[in-house]
Structure 1
Amino acid sequence: MSLIIAYIGKKGCVMASDKRRIGYFGNKEQLNALESELYSGKIKTDEEFKKKADEYGISIKLTEDATKITTVGNCVRGEVTTKKVFETYRKRIYGTTMGYQIVELSGSETVSREAGEKAIIVFGNKFAKQEAEKLINKKWKPSLSLKYMGDIFEEILTEISRKTPTIGNTFDVLIKQPKFNKSEAQRHLNVSIDKDIKVLSKFRQKLQEDLIQKNKEIALADKIINKGDVGEVVSVDGKMLHVKLNSKTQAFDGNWKQIAKPNETVFMFSDHNHVELGDKVVIQDEKLCLKKDKSNLKCDIILCSL
């Protein structure tokens, strides 16, 4: 789980986060047990985390490449995610001068949305959040500039990263300070958030379409013919042949777009001059050839069974 710290007030908004991403692979029950220890603060270092993961039989991958905060219009957005089997839950904070909104999403559907004017807000697992709140109370002064607030947030992230491997050791800090009063801030937040969620919805739709296409490609790849009859020659024009596919063969281009159905014709090419009408075309030893003499044929299509 990430750690995101945000200040929203009359000076503007400053937000800081770590960049750690943790990848897991292994038994679900063992993973839940490992996460329970991790998020309670019992595991202190990356080395302890890796050792404990080995004990539970869980493979982990730690990287420092996650972007958890970004700018959206004149706002800063922070996001933490929880991935379930069929859905991703997102908790976001959008902040600007004199206003913020916290939005919870299931996929791209809004579950809840609340607004405020001034606050210091922390997103994170229980242990990291408690540690951050203690350090904020210790270090915070309301007279600080936004730049210095960002420096303090980065110091806090650094201190907590030494106590838990849930937080990495590289950070992002972003500041926005447009001149808004509280009503202007909420109007801007409403417009910016609505646009941002629409972008997320379109992105998810594209992912879904890509997934459908990928599943289609996988299904078709399983049907690629590597042995057997595929059709017969119905026309010869020099080295170019017109081949009529049989009733069980279809053809696709390199992007898996269907270009010929069963019993339709496709182009193939031969380097030989002895091709005759009615010659059978087969795939043998994964090579396209004439059945009568095994002479090679060429084509730029993918032949699949129904």
Structure 2
Amino acid sequence: MSLIIAYIGKNGCVMAADKRKIGYFGDKENLEILEKELYNGEISSDEEFLKRAEDLDISVKITDDASKLKIVGKCVRGEVSTKGTFETRRRRIYGTTKGYQLVELLGSEVTSRKAGESGIIIFGNVFAKKMAENLVSKRFKPSSSLKSKGEIFEQIIKEISSVTPTVGSNCDVLRQDPLFSTSQAQKHLNLTIDHDVKVLVKFRQNLTEQLVQQSLEIEMSSKIIDEGDVGRVVSVDGNILYVQLNDKTQAMDENWKQLAGPGQNVIMFTENDNIKIGDKVIIKNEDLCLKKDKSSLKCDVILCSL
């Protein structure tokens, strides 16, 4: 659902990209029908697209704020991605003066990498790419400045967006023009891409850790005790109580790390001066208290079931 047009030449690199992103959900067979009609150019407007999606019982969300271009080192990077069931596939072009590389990734693993010195590269679906190639061949002026080339690419993207909902009219245009020889360009591209992929690996690792932590928080929050017995008093020291947890209760800190398991003691606090060894501790209506008189207790742990 993207269109990226890139020029790489002896004076620098310029890329233009739309900002459209489309998410949809529904029956697999109906999704395939909708995609086929989109990519064949049978659907020419957002209104037609939304109507056709409704006919096929497909839920659609269209946004026009996706950033597909980025300055990385002294290069411009363009990326299109497709989310699969388990991994995201990415196609990237890194361009600079007198050099570019095309990189394909599955997740954060590089599956293909090709280099070139100059040319016009277009990423897009079959319909949008073919139309862009035709328009570029008619309007591109090799002698024009990078700025002018970018303006032409932007006009082409806007024109294509008027005949297919797979491309949005909002555009980004980025340029880079460092003084590189052909060998310097490829050396810089290699260093930049290697670092950029490492950043992606680290990002995915952090994201995985966050998802694991969120999953743990969801799981543990469902185990927080809001009603029932939790233990009994085994020692009293002024307003400090030592409570032995029963065989179904554990104490966790705010990061869901276990501080005390069944049969172990936790510290609680009370303002009641009539506490006896053996008094039962319960949670009643989400309040921690003594069973015998419902006097309030406090603690610095989260009490959860096993």
TM tier relative to shorter chain: over 0.9
Report the 3-state secondary structure (helix = DSSP H, G, I; strand = E; otherwise coil) of the residue aligned with 1:169.
coil
Amino acid corresponding to residue 16 of structure 2 in structure 1: A
Provide the aligned length of Structure 1 versus Structure 2. Answer: 306
Report the 3-state secondary structure (helix = DSSP H, G, I; strand = E; otherwise coil) of the residue aligned with 1:178.
coil
Q: Where does residue 243 of structure 2 map in the other structure?
A: 243
Q: Where does residue 270 of structure 2 map in the other structure?
A: 270
Mean CA deviation greater in 282-291 or 203-212: 282-291
Q: CA deviation at 1:234?
A: 2.3
1:1-306 mapped onto 2 (5 Å cutoff): 1-306=1-306
Mean CA deviation greater in 74-83 or 164-173: 164-173
Report the 3-state secondary structure (helix = DSSP H, G, I; strand = E; otherwise coil) of the residue aligned with 2:47.
helix
Mean CA deviation greater in 296-305 or 87-96: 296-305
Report the 3-state secondary structure (helix = DSSP H, G, I; strand = E; otherwise coil) of the residue aligned with 1:225.
coil
Report the 3-state secondary structure (helix = DSSP H, G, I; strand = E; otherwise coil) of the residue aligned with 1:276.
coil
Q: CA deviation at 1:241?
A: 2.4
* Rounded Cα–Cα distance in structure 2 between residues aligned with 1:32 and 1:256: 43
* Rounded Cα–Cα distance in structure 1 between residues aligned with 2:38 and 2:186: 37
Report the 3-state secondary structure (helix = DSSP H, G, I; strand = E; otherwise coil) of the residue aligned with 2:67.
coil
Q: CA deviation at 1:16?
A: 0.8
Q: What RMSD, in angstroms, separates the aligned Cα atoms of the two structures?
A: 1.4
Structure 1 residues 37-92: Cα deviation after superposition (integer angstroms, max 9, x where no partner): 12221111111111111111111111122111101100010111111111111110
* Rounded Cα–Cα distance in structure 2 between residues aligned with 1:37 and 1:14: 31
Q: CA deviation at 1:278?
A: 1.6
Q: CA deviation at 1:256?
A: 1.8
Q: CA deviation at 1:203?
A: 0.8
Mean CA deviation greater in 225-234 or 88-97: 225-234
Report the 3-state secondary structure (helix = DSSP H, G, I; strand = E; otherwise coil) of the residue aligned with 2:254.
coil
Closer/same/farther in 2, CA of residues 249 and 178 from structure 1, 3 Å limit: same
Amino acid corresponding to residue 156 of structure 1 in structure 2: I
Q: Provide TM-score, normalisation by structure 2.
A: 0.95
Structure 1 residues 139-196: Cα deviation after superposition (integer angstroms, max 9, x where no partner): 1110010000111111011101111111112111100000011111000000000000
Q: Provide TM-score, normalisation by structure 1.
A: 0.95
* Rounded Cα–Cα distance in structure 1 between residues aligned with 2:210 and 2:298: 30
Q: CA deviation at 1:273?
A: 2.7
Q: CA deviation at 1:271?
A: 3.7
Amino acid corresponding to residue 80 of structure 1 in structure 2: V
* Rounded Cα–Cα distance in structure 2 between residues aligned with 1:66 and 1:219: 33
* Rounded Cα–Cα distance in structure 2 between residues aligned with 1:75 and 1:157: 22
Runs of 4+ in 1 over 4 A off after TM superposition: none
Report the 3-state secondary structure (helix = DSSP H, G, I; strand = E; otherwise coil) of the residue aligned with 1:303.
strand
Closer/same/farther in 2, CA of residues 110 and 278 from structure 1, 3 Å limit: same
Report the 3-state secondary structure (helix = DSSP H, G, I; strand = E; otherwise coil) of the residue aligned with 1:71.
strand
Mean CA deviation greater in 233-242 or 284-293: 233-242
